[in-house]
Amino acid sequence: MTKFMIRNATSADCADLLRLIKELASYENMANAVKLTEKGLGIGSEILKRISQIAIQNRCCSMHFLVVGWNKASIEYYTKRGARDLSKQEGWHLFKFSKENMIKLASEE
Quick check: 74 and 45 in contact, CB under 8 A? no
Distance, CA of 83 to CA of 40 (rounded, Å): 23
Q: Is 77 a catalytic residue?
A: no
Distance, CA of 33 to CA of 17 (rounded, Å): 18
Which of 27, 28, 77, 78 is catalytic? The answer is 78
Q: What is the dihedral of CA 63, 79, 26, 46, to 10 degrees?
A: 60
Q: Give the residue numbers annotated as catalytic, written as ranges.
A: 78
